Amino acid sequence: MKFFVDTADLKEIKELAATGLLDGVTTNPSLVAKSGCASFVDLIKEICSIVSGPVSAEVGATDFDTMLEEGRFLAKLAKNIAVKVPLTPAGLKVCKSLSEDGVMVNVTLCFSAAQAILAAKAGATFVSPFVGRLDDIGQNGMQLIADICQIYSNYPEFKTEVLVASVRHPQHVVQAAQIGAHVATIPPKIIMQLFGHPNTDKGLAQFVEDWKKCGQKILP
């Protein structure tokens, strides 16, 4: 499963890219606003220079003509841009147009398997089901992932990858991998939590203590 980081913070992106764990980046208007960057375009360009994988940049408009114009503009910023559009009739029209031009498209705000079918038929590169937001209203977000993966597997002509979004905890990541989702876009905090286990900390502490006692060293 590919790991995208869900942030617009350049420092976080650089640190994670250095680990070799990062396959791409997703941003949205809320994350861009949180980053405090003065220029959205400059921010996206810099992220694309740090990460070689797909970088999702979301359109700001909601009508077809303006979304298409914005999408084409964003796609020219870097070769690894994935234009992000909402799962609306206008958004899917934009998706079809951009996909036919060879542009990667991430269809976002997916909350049902029916919507995911539409995104695949429109030629989306990625569809982003929001598992955490479904959990928040008492629905089973991971069941949606399972349903979409099953449906897509029935139709080899569907090339759309399932990008698990709104990840709230490490178990979401593990469950997504068990189901067979192609991608998870994960907040930096959750990625760091994947490292954690008390037995790892305990074992390392014991190894360090024993190494000190033996009085040896590796480097001259």
Distance CA 80, CA 104 (A): 8
Angle (deg, nearest 10), helices 89-100 and 113-121 = 30
- Per DSSP, the three-state class of 192 is helix
The burial of 72, by beta-carbon neighbours within 10 Å (0-12 exposed, 13-18 middle, 19 or more buried), is given as middle
| Of 11, 14, 45, 84, catalytic | 84
Tell me if residue 84 is catalytic: yes
Residue in the structure block whose two tokens are 């597997």: 153
| Contacts of 42 by beta carbon, 8 Å cutoff, 6+ apart | none
Distance CA 24, CA 48 (A): 9
Distance CA 203, CA 113 (A): 44
Active-site annotation, residues: 84
